[in-house]
Chain A
Amino acid sequence: DAGVIQSPRHEVTEMGQEVTLRCKPISGHDYLFWYRQTMMRGLELLIYFNNNVPIDDSGMPEDRFSAKMPNASFSTLKIQPSEPRDSAVYFCASSFRGGARGNTIYFGEGSWLTVV
């Protein structure tokens, strides 16, 4: 299996621009998670989906952030407009039957976002 695939791997954008991060989960997985990692705040869960339905978006920092999962093999995280404080590594992860049942969460390699 190819694992969780994220794109782009690196993006540098100007403040105010729209940013779209993409994720392809592992085939057959029914949970998809978006995490953000920064030095100051560590690894934060932004939102997660089960069977393409958003379950918990309490970690989404503000209305500038939105996430969608139109089908089982694709999800997007969008930031509009972007701000310098959004600079971080954004990870997509997927699992079968979720993490709380002791199932492994598989991470992508991350999208490194820099907003200047």
Chain B
Amino acid sequence: SQQGEEDPQALSIQEGENATMNCSYKTSINNLQWYRQNSGRGLVHLILIRSNEREKHSGRLRVTLDTSKKSSSLLITASRAADTASYFCATDGVQGAQKLVFGQGTRLTINP
């Protein structure tokens, strides 16, 4: 079963608006990562947040982590048409294992 579940499944906004995507997971984690997938391409790493961190920034990206609620959010500010893609959260979740388990993803569409 999936460890991470993203919400919403699809999001459509106007260029310049902020986009927020959420991820919930089931078991304790060491780290949570966000990846992006452009149509027809492989996944690309965006940002990582460790379990002892609450918030992290990278350019127009802001990630938060609430381990008590087992949830994370990805905020993209001042969205651009080029941000159109699917966004996935990935968690380890299994002690000792080095694999990442991905959620179903949020399909983000930025309308010009």
A residues lining the B interface (CB < 8 Å): 4, 31, 33, 35, 42-43, 45, 48, 50, 55-56, 91, 93, 95, 97-102, 104-110
Contact = CB atoms under 8 A, between A and B. Distances in A.
A interface majority secondary structure: strand
Interface residues of B, number: 25
Contact of A42 (B30, B50, B104): B104
Contacts of B78: none
Interface string B88-108: 101010101111111111000
The 9 closest A-B pairs by CB, nearest first: A98-B98, A100-B92, A107-B42, A99-B100, A102-B31, A43-B102, A42-B104, A104-B45, A107-B43
Contact of A106 (B45, B99, B103): B45
Nearest to A92: B42
A33 B97 CA distance: 12
